[in-house]
Amino acid sequence: MAKERLATLSLQISLTFMMLHTSLVFASTTAEDTFQKGIKSFKSGHYQSAEKFFLDAKKQGYVALQIDYNLGVATFKLKKYDAAILHFNKLISHPKFSAIAYYNIGLSLERQGKKEEARKYFKLASESKSNEKIQYLAQKKLNKKELSHNIDNKKNWDVYASVSYGYDDNIELIAKDTASSKEDSYIQSYLRARYKTAINVRTYISIFDISYDDFDAEDYQNIKLGVDYPFKFYDWKITPAFEYSESELGDKDYQNITDYKFKARKRFGKKSLTVSYRYSDIDEADNQYEYLKGKRQRIRINYQMPVNIGRLRLRYQFETNDREDTSLRSYSPERHSIEAKLSHELQDGWEVFSDVSYRNSDYPQKNNYAREDERYRFSIGSEYQFNNMWSVSAKYEYTDNHSNHRIDEYTRNVYQLSVNGKF
Protein backbone atom coordinates (compact mmCIF):
# COMPACT_ATOMS: atom_id res chain seq x y z
CA MET A 1 0.00 0.00 0.00
CA ALA A 2 2.79 2.39 0.96
CA LYS A 3 4.64 1.49 -2.23
CA GLU A 4 1.52 2.31 -4.31
CA ARG A 5 1.16 5.72 -2.57
CA LEU A 6 4.85 6.46 -3.13
CA ALA A 7 4.56 5.55 -6.81
CA THR A 8 1.46 7.73 -7.21
CA LEU A 9 3.15 10.67 -5.47
CA SER A 10 6.24 10.26 -7.67
CA LEU A 11 4.08 10.22 -10.80
CA GLN A 12 2.25 13.38 -9.69
CA ILE A 13 5.52 15.22 -9.00
CA SER A 14 6.90 14.15 -12.40
CA LEU A 15 3.77 15.29 -14.19
CA THR A 16 3.85 18.63 -12.30
CA PHE A 17 7.48 19.27 -13.30
CA MET A 18 6.71 18.31 -16.91
CA MET A 19 3.76 20.72 -17.01
CA LEU A 20 5.82 23.49 -15.36
CA HIS A 21 8.68 22.94 -17.81
CA THR A 22 6.27 22.93 -20.77
CA SER A 23 4.65 26.17 -19.50
CA LEU A 24 8.02 27.86 -19.05
CA VAL A 25 9.16 26.80 -22.51
CA PHE A 26 5.87 27.96 -24.02
CA ALA A 27 6.03 31.28 -22.13
CA SER A 28 9.65 31.79 -23.19
CA THR A 29 8.81 31.00 -26.80
CA THR A 30 5.79 33.33 -26.74
CA ALA A 31 7.81 36.16 -25.16
CA GLU A 32 10.59 35.77 -27.71
CA ASP A 33 8.10 35.78 -30.58
CA THR A 34 6.45 38.92 -29.20
CA PHE A 35 9.84 40.57 -28.76
CA GLN A 36 10.78 39.77 -32.37
CA LYS A 37 7.48 41.26 -33.53
CA GLY A 38 8.48 44.42 -31.69
CA ILE A 39 11.86 44.44 -33.47
CA LYS A 40 10.14 44.00 -36.83
CA SER A 41 7.68 46.84 -36.11
CA PHE A 42 10.50 49.12 -34.99
CA LYS A 43 12.50 48.49 -38.16
CA SER A 44 9.39 49.29 -40.19
CA GLY A 45 9.03 52.62 -38.41
CA HIS A 46 5.88 51.59 -36.50
CA TYR A 47 7.18 52.73 -33.12
CA GLN A 48 3.86 52.67 -31.30
CA SER A 49 3.28 49.02 -32.24
CA ALA A 50 6.89 48.24 -31.32
CA GLU A 51 6.41 49.73 -27.85
CA LYS A 52 3.27 47.62 -27.31
CA PHE A 53 5.02 44.38 -28.39
CA PHE A 54 8.02 45.11 -26.13
CA LEU A 55 5.73 45.76 -23.14
CA ASP A 56 3.79 42.55 -23.87
CA ALA A 57 7.02 40.60 -24.13
CA LYS A 58 8.11 41.94 -20.75
CA LYS A 59 4.77 40.91 -19.21
CA GLN A 60 5.21 37.45 -20.74
CA GLY A 61 8.52 37.05 -18.92
CA TYR A 62 11.14 38.38 -21.36
CA VAL A 63 13.97 39.31 -18.99
CA ALA A 64 16.91 40.09 -21.31
CA LEU A 65 18.39 43.57 -20.90
CA GLN A 66 17.64 44.32 -24.55
CA ILE A 67 13.97 44.74 -23.65
CA ASP A 68 14.63 47.88 -21.60
CA TYR A 69 16.97 49.27 -24.28
CA ASN A 70 14.44 48.70 -27.05
CA LEU A 71 11.64 50.16 -24.94
CA GLY A 72 13.84 53.20 -24.35
CA VAL A 73 14.55 53.64 -28.06
CA ALA A 74 10.91 53.12 -29.06
CA THR A 75 9.58 55.65 -26.53
CA PHE A 76 12.32 58.10 -27.56
CA LYS A 77 11.12 57.85 -31.18
CA LEU A 78 7.59 58.52 -29.93
CA LYS A 79 8.91 61.64 -28.14
CA LYS A 80 7.99 60.15 -24.74
CA TYR A 81 11.25 61.36 -23.30
CA ASP A 82 10.41 60.87 -19.62
CA ALA A 83 9.46 57.23 -20.29
CA ALA A 84 12.63 56.75 -22.35
CA ILE A 85 14.76 58.05 -19.47
CA LEU A 86 13.10 55.58 -17.07
CA HIS A 87 13.88 52.64 -19.36
CA PHE A 88 17.49 53.68 -19.99
CA ASN A 89 18.03 54.26 -16.26
CA LYS A 90 17.49 50.53 -15.70
CA LEU A 91 20.60 49.80 -17.79
CA ILE A 92 23.05 52.13 -16.04
CA SER A 93 24.18 49.53 -13.46
CA HIS A 94 25.17 47.06 -16.20
CA PRO A 95 28.74 47.73 -17.52
CA LYS A 96 27.87 46.51 -21.01
CA PHE A 97 25.00 48.99 -21.40
CA SER A 98 26.00 51.91 -19.14
CA ALA A 99 27.65 54.03 -21.87
CA ILE A 100 24.75 53.74 -24.30
CA ALA A 101 22.30 54.36 -21.44
CA TYR A 102 24.09 57.57 -20.40
CA TYR A 103 24.23 58.76 -24.01
CA ASN A 104 20.53 58.13 -24.69
CA ILE A 105 19.47 59.77 -21.42
CA GLY A 106 21.53 62.77 -22.55
CA LEU A 107 19.72 62.81 -25.90
CA SER A 108 16.33 62.63 -24.16
CA LEU A 109 17.18 65.51 -21.82
CA GLU A 110 18.53 67.52 -24.76
CA ARG A 111 15.25 67.11 -26.63
CA GLN A 112 13.47 68.45 -23.53
CA GLY A 113 15.66 71.55 -23.58
CA LYS A 114 17.56 70.53 -20.40
CA LYS A 115 21.00 71.28 -21.80
CA GLU A 116 22.95 71.36 -18.55
CA GLU A 117 21.54 68.03 -17.36
CA ALA A 118 22.13 66.52 -20.81
CA ARG A 119 25.75 67.66 -20.74
CA LYS A 120 26.35 65.72 -17.49
CA TYR A 121 25.17 62.47 -19.07
CA PHE A 122 27.13 63.09 -22.30
CA LYS A 123 30.19 63.59 -20.10
CA LEU A 124 29.58 60.26 -18.33
CA ALA A 125 29.18 58.53 -21.70
CA SER A 126 32.34 60.18 -23.05
CA GLU A 127 34.34 58.88 -20.08
CA SER A 128 33.20 55.28 -20.55
CA LYS A 129 35.64 53.05 -22.46
CA SER A 130 33.31 50.10 -22.93
CA ASN A 131 31.89 51.41 -26.22
CA GLU A 132 34.23 53.42 -28.46
CA LYS A 133 31.49 54.52 -30.87
CA ILE A 134 29.28 55.88 -28.07
CA GLN A 135 32.33 57.52 -26.50
CA TYR A 136 33.07 59.31 -29.80
CA LEU A 137 29.44 60.44 -30.28
CA ALA A 138 29.28 61.77 -26.72
CA GLN A 139 32.57 63.62 -27.12
CA LYS A 140 31.26 65.14 -30.34
CA LYS A 141 28.15 66.36 -28.51
CA LEU A 142 30.32 67.97 -25.86
CA ASN A 143 32.70 69.45 -28.42
CA LYS A 144 29.93 70.94 -30.52
CA LYS A 145 27.53 72.21 -27.88
CA GLU A 146 29.47 72.77 -24.68
CA LEU A 147 33.17 72.02 -24.81
CA SER A 148 34.06 74.77 -27.26
CA HIS A 149 32.17 77.24 -25.08
CA ASN A 150 34.03 76.09 -21.97
CA ILE A 151 37.37 76.32 -23.77
CA ASP A 152 36.56 79.88 -24.85
CA ASN A 153 35.89 80.74 -21.23
CA LYS A 154 39.21 79.30 -20.08
CA LYS A 155 41.54 80.69 -22.72
CA ASN A 156 41.67 84.31 -23.75
CA TRP A 157 42.26 83.81 -27.48
CA ASP A 158 40.86 81.86 -30.41
CA VAL A 159 41.71 81.54 -34.09
CA TYR A 160 39.59 80.55 -37.09
CA ALA A 161 41.10 79.83 -40.52
CA SER A 162 39.66 78.69 -43.85
CA VAL A 163 41.19 77.97 -47.26
CA SER A 164 38.97 77.38 -50.31
CA TYR A 165 39.29 76.49 -53.96
CA GLY A 166 36.45 77.50 -56.23
CA TYR A 167 35.14 78.17 -59.71
CA ASP A 168 33.01 81.19 -60.69
CA ASP A 169 31.36 81.25 -64.13
CA ASN A 170 30.46 84.98 -63.97
CA ILE A 171 32.79 86.95 -61.72
CA GLU A 172 31.11 89.78 -59.86
CA LEU A 173 32.69 93.20 -60.44
CA ILE A 174 32.85 94.56 -56.90
CA ALA A 175 33.47 98.18 -57.84
CA LYS A 176 30.85 98.20 -60.63
CA ASP A 177 28.03 96.39 -58.81
CA THR A 178 27.43 94.07 -61.76
CA ALA A 179 28.79 90.87 -63.33
CA SER A 180 31.75 90.57 -65.71
CA SER A 181 30.55 87.79 -68.06
CA LYS A 182 33.96 86.19 -67.44
CA GLU A 183 34.70 82.90 -65.70
CA ASP A 184 37.71 81.84 -63.66
CA SER A 185 38.86 79.59 -60.85
CA TYR A 186 40.10 81.11 -57.59
CA ILE A 187 41.73 80.49 -54.22
CA GLN A 188 40.13 82.13 -51.23
CA SER A 189 41.51 82.39 -47.70
CA TYR A 190 40.25 83.82 -44.44
CA LEU A 191 41.93 84.18 -41.06
CA ARG A 192 40.54 85.65 -37.85
CA ALA A 193 42.32 85.91 -34.50
CA ARG A 194 40.54 87.19 -31.41
CA TYR A 195 41.84 88.07 -27.93
CA LYS A 196 39.69 88.56 -24.82
CA THR A 197 40.97 90.84 -22.09
CA ALA A 198 40.40 90.46 -18.35
CA ILE A 199 37.46 92.90 -18.48
CA ASN A 200 35.78 90.90 -21.28
CA VAL A 201 36.66 93.39 -24.03
CA ARG A 202 37.60 91.49 -27.20
CA THR A 203 40.00 92.69 -29.86
CA TYR A 204 40.32 90.93 -33.19
CA ILE A 205 41.96 91.03 -36.58
CA SER A 206 40.77 89.34 -39.77
CA ILE A 207 42.35 88.96 -43.20
CA PHE A 208 40.39 88.00 -46.32
CA ASP A 209 41.90 87.29 -49.74
CA ILE A 210 40.49 86.02 -53.03
CA SER A 211 42.87 85.54 -55.96
CA TYR A 212 41.73 84.52 -59.45
CA ASP A 213 43.92 82.44 -61.74
CA ASP A 214 43.55 84.68 -64.81
CA PHE A 215 41.25 87.59 -63.94
CA ASP A 216 43.74 89.47 -61.73
CA ALA A 217 41.89 92.80 -61.88
CA GLU A 218 39.25 91.42 -59.49
CA ASP A 219 41.65 90.02 -56.89
CA TYR A 220 40.46 91.39 -53.57
CA GLN A 221 42.15 91.68 -50.17
CA ASN A 222 40.74 93.07 -46.95
CA ILE A 223 42.31 93.49 -43.52
CA LYS A 224 40.10 94.42 -40.59
CA LEU A 225 40.79 95.46 -36.98
CA GLY A 226 38.01 95.51 -34.42
CA VAL A 227 37.03 95.67 -30.79
CA ASP A 228 33.76 94.64 -29.12
CA TYR A 229 32.35 94.29 -25.63
CA PRO A 230 29.62 91.67 -25.07
CA PHE A 231 27.60 92.04 -21.87
CA LYS A 232 24.30 90.92 -20.36
CA PHE A 233 21.31 93.23 -20.03
CA TYR A 234 18.33 91.45 -18.49
CA ASP A 235 17.70 88.49 -20.85
CA TRP A 236 19.62 90.07 -23.74
CA LYS A 237 23.25 89.68 -24.76
CA ILE A 238 24.37 93.11 -26.01
CA THR A 239 27.49 93.56 -28.16
CA PRO A 240 28.61 97.02 -29.29
CA ALA A 241 31.61 96.98 -31.66
CA PHE A 242 33.96 99.23 -33.60
CA GLU A 243 35.83 98.12 -36.77
CA TYR A 244 38.26 99.64 -39.21
CA SER A 245 39.22 97.98 -42.51
CA GLU A 246 41.42 98.64 -45.52
CA SER A 247 41.10 96.83 -48.85
CA GLU A 248 42.79 96.42 -52.21
CA LEU A 249 41.24 95.61 -55.57
CA GLY A 250 43.57 94.20 -58.20
CA ASP A 251 46.89 95.96 -57.65
CA LYS A 252 45.35 99.23 -56.34
CA ASP A 253 44.15 100.49 -52.96
CA TYR A 254 40.35 100.32 -52.86
CA GLN A 255 38.49 101.47 -49.73
CA ASN A 256 38.93 102.42 -46.08
CA ILE A 257 35.82 101.71 -44.00
CA THR A 258 34.96 102.57 -40.41
CA ASP A 259 32.08 100.54 -38.97
CA TYR A 260 30.04 101.19 -35.83
CA LYS A 261 28.05 98.09 -34.87
CA PHE A 262 25.45 97.14 -32.29
CA LYS A 263 23.93 93.69 -31.77
CA ALA A 264 21.33 92.42 -29.29
CA ARG A 265 20.47 88.74 -28.90
CA LYS A 266 17.85 86.98 -26.80
CA ARG A 267 17.21 83.25 -26.39
CA PHE A 268 13.82 81.60 -25.93
CA GLY A 269 14.74 78.02 -25.06
CA LYS A 270 16.06 76.58 -28.34
CA LYS A 271 14.93 79.67 -30.26
CA SER A 272 16.77 82.99 -30.54
CA LEU A 273 16.17 86.50 -31.83
CA THR A 274 19.03 88.77 -32.94
CA VAL A 275 18.69 92.41 -33.93
CA SER A 276 21.74 94.28 -35.27
CA TYR A 277 22.60 97.69 -36.69
CA ARG A 278 25.72 98.76 -38.63
CA TYR A 279 26.73 102.25 -39.69
CA SER A 280 29.59 102.38 -42.24
CA ASP A 281 31.65 105.43 -43.12
CA ILE A 282 33.23 104.58 -46.49
CA ASP A 283 36.21 106.44 -47.89
CA GLU A 284 38.00 105.81 -51.17
CA ALA A 285 41.67 104.73 -50.95
CA ASP A 286 42.26 105.67 -54.61
CA ASN A 287 40.73 108.58 -56.55
CA GLN A 288 39.22 106.32 -59.22
CA TYR A 289 36.84 104.90 -56.56
CA GLU A 290 35.68 108.28 -55.27
CA TYR A 291 32.15 107.61 -56.58
CA LEU A 292 31.76 104.89 -53.90
CA LYS A 293 32.61 107.24 -51.04
CA GLY A 294 29.78 107.83 -48.58
CA LYS A 295 27.61 106.23 -45.91
CA ARG A 296 25.86 102.88 -45.59
CA GLN A 297 23.40 101.70 -42.93
CA ARG A 298 22.13 98.18 -42.34
CA ILE A 299 19.46 96.87 -40.00
CA ARG A 300 19.20 93.08 -39.71
CA ILE A 301 16.78 90.80 -37.86
CA ASN A 302 17.56 87.10 -37.40
CA TYR A 303 15.24 84.48 -35.95
CA GLN A 304 16.44 80.90 -35.39
CA MET A 305 14.35 77.95 -34.32
CA PRO A 306 14.42 74.14 -34.41
CA VAL A 307 12.12 72.36 -36.86
CA ASN A 308 11.35 68.69 -37.45
CA ILE A 309 14.09 68.28 -40.04
CA GLY A 310 16.81 70.47 -38.53
CA ARG A 311 17.33 74.12 -37.67
CA LEU A 312 15.81 77.08 -39.52
CA ARG A 313 17.19 80.62 -39.68
CA LEU A 314 15.01 83.43 -41.01
CA ARG A 315 16.55 86.82 -41.83
CA TYR A 316 15.39 90.26 -42.94
CA GLN A 317 17.77 93.12 -43.79
CA PHE A 318 17.17 96.73 -44.73
CA GLU A 319 20.04 98.74 -46.25
CA THR A 320 20.44 102.36 -47.26
CA ASN A 321 23.34 103.97 -49.14
CA ASP A 322 24.37 107.58 -49.67
CA ARG A 323 27.37 107.52 -52.03
CA GLU A 324 28.99 110.15 -54.22
CA ASP A 325 27.84 108.29 -57.37
CA THR A 326 28.80 109.28 -60.92
CA SER A 327 26.97 111.69 -63.22
CA LEU A 328 25.58 108.76 -65.22
CA ARG A 329 24.96 106.03 -62.64
CA SER A 330 23.92 105.67 -59.02
CA TYR A 331 25.68 103.40 -56.51
CA SER A 332 23.35 104.29 -53.64
CA PRO A 333 20.63 101.62 -53.60
CA GLU A 334 17.97 101.11 -50.98
CA ARG A 335 17.70 97.38 -50.39
CA HIS A 336 15.32 94.92 -48.78
CA SER A 337 16.49 91.32 -48.34
CA ILE A 338 14.82 88.19 -46.97
CA GLU A 339 16.53 84.85 -46.46
CA ALA A 340 15.79 81.37 -45.14
CA LYS A 341 18.51 78.87 -44.27
CA LEU A 342 17.84 75.28 -43.22
CA SER A 343 20.56 73.09 -41.73
CA HIS A 344 20.32 69.45 -40.72
CA GLU A 345 22.80 67.37 -38.71
CA LEU A 346 23.39 63.84 -39.96
CA GLN A 347 25.21 61.09 -38.10
CA ASP A 348 28.99 60.70 -37.93
CA GLY A 349 29.85 64.41 -38.13
CA TRP A 350 27.97 65.36 -41.32
CA GLU A 351 25.77 68.42 -41.71
CA VAL A 352 23.84 69.55 -44.81
CA PHE A 353 22.33 72.97 -45.44
CA SER A 354 20.39 74.95 -48.02
CA ASP A 355 19.84 78.69 -48.32
CA VAL A 356 17.29 80.70 -50.32
CA SER A 357 17.25 84.52 -50.49
CA TYR A 358 15.58 87.40 -52.31
CA ARG A 359 16.88 90.98 -52.55
CA ASN A 360 15.25 94.05 -54.02
CA SER A 361 17.53 97.01 -54.90
CA ASP A 362 16.11 100.40 -55.84
CA TYR A 363 18.64 102.93 -57.18
CA PRO A 364 18.02 106.70 -57.40
CA GLN A 365 17.68 108.08 -60.93
CA LYS A 366 20.82 109.49 -62.55
CA ASN A 367 20.67 111.21 -65.94
CA ASN A 368 17.36 109.46 -66.79
CA TYR A 369 18.88 106.12 -65.76
CA ALA A 370 16.69 104.58 -63.04
CA ARG A 371 17.64 101.05 -62.03
CA GLU A 372 15.73 98.47 -60.03
CA ASP A 373 17.01 94.91 -59.48
CA GLU A 374 15.53 91.73 -58.06
CA ARG A 375 18.11 89.14 -57.09
CA TYR A 376 17.27 85.50 -56.35
CA ARG A 377 19.94 83.32 -54.80
CA PHE A 378 20.04 79.63 -53.87
CA SER A 379 22.84 77.63 -52.30
CA ILE A 380 23.28 74.08 -51.03
CA GLY A 381 26.19 72.51 -49.25
CA SER A 382 27.57 70.03 -46.77
CA GLU A 383 30.18 70.04 -44.02
CA TYR A 384 32.01 67.16 -42.35
CA GLN A 385 33.38 67.77 -38.84
CA PHE A 386 36.43 65.57 -38.13
CA ASN A 387 36.67 66.82 -34.52
CA ASN A 388 36.23 70.07 -32.60
CA MET A 389 39.08 71.64 -34.63
CA TRP A 390 38.95 70.53 -38.27
CA SER A 391 36.24 70.32 -40.90
CA VAL A 392 35.82 70.24 -44.68
CA SER A 393 32.89 71.72 -46.60
CA ALA A 394 31.51 72.01 -50.10
CA LYS A 395 29.01 74.53 -51.47
CA TYR A 396 27.18 75.34 -54.69
CA GLU A 397 25.59 78.77 -55.20
CA TYR A 398 23.30 79.98 -57.97
CA THR A 399 22.38 83.66 -58.51
CA ASP A 400 19.78 85.06 -60.89
CA ASN A 401 19.67 88.87 -61.07
CA HIS A 402 16.70 90.51 -62.82
CA SER A 403 16.78 94.19 -63.72
CA ASN A 404 14.80 96.77 -65.66
CA HIS A 405 18.00 97.24 -67.70
CA ARG A 406 19.22 94.30 -69.73
CA ILE A 407 22.86 95.23 -69.15
CA ASP A 408 22.42 94.61 -65.41
CA GLU A 409 20.82 91.17 -65.78
CA TYR A 410 22.94 88.07 -65.20
CA THR A 411 23.09 84.55 -63.80
CA ARG A 412 26.02 83.14 -61.85
CA ASN A 413 27.19 79.71 -60.67
CA VAL A 414 29.85 79.28 -57.98
CA TYR A 415 31.35 75.98 -56.79
CA GLN A 416 33.62 75.90 -53.73
CA LEU A 417 35.55 73.38 -51.58
CA SER A 418 36.96 74.46 -48.20
CA VAL A 419 39.15 73.27 -45.36
CA ASN A 420 38.37 74.94 -42.03
CA GLY A 421 40.13 75.01 -38.67
CA LYS A 422 39.37 76.35 -35.19
CA PHE A 423 42.17 76.74 -32.66
* pLDDT bucket at 152, cuts 50 / 70 / 90: very low
Separation CA 76–CA 90 (nearest Å): 15
Provide the pLDDT for residue 34: 83
158-422: CATH topology is Porin (2.40.160)
Separation CA 221–CA 212 (nearest Å): 12
3-state helix, strand, coil in the chain (%, to 5): 35, 45, 20
Q: What is the DSSP string of 158-182?
A: EEEEEEEEEEESS-EETTTTEE-S-
- Count Cβ neighbours within 10 Å for each residue of 162-173 and write b for 16 or more, e otherwise: bebebebebbbe
pLDDT of 22-76, one tens digit each? Answer: 444 444 568 788 888 878 888 888 888 888 888 888 888 776 677 888 888 888 9
Domain boundaries, the chain: 2-148, 158-422
Residue 157 has pLDDT above 60, yes or no: yes
Separation CA 57–CA 32 (nearest Å): 7
Average pLDDT, the chain: 87
pLDDT of 322-358, one tens digit each? Answer: 999 998 999 999 999 999 999 998 867 789 999 999 9
pLDDT of 179-226, one tens digit each? Answer: 999 999 999 999 999 999 988 899 999 999 999 999 999 999 999 999
End-to-end CA distance of the chain: 93
* pLDDT bucket at 12, cuts 50 / 70 / 90: low
Query: Which CATH architecture describes the domain 2-148?
Result: Alpha Horseshoe (1.25)
Range 302-319 average pLDDT: 94
Q: Say which residue, 10 or 100, is predicted with more confidence.
A: 100
pLDDT of 92-145, one tens digit each? Answer: 877 778 888 888 988 899 888 888 888 888 888 888 767 778 878 888 788 754
Alpha helices in 112-236 (DSSP H): 115-127, 132-141, 148-154
Q: Which amino acid is at 384?
A: Y
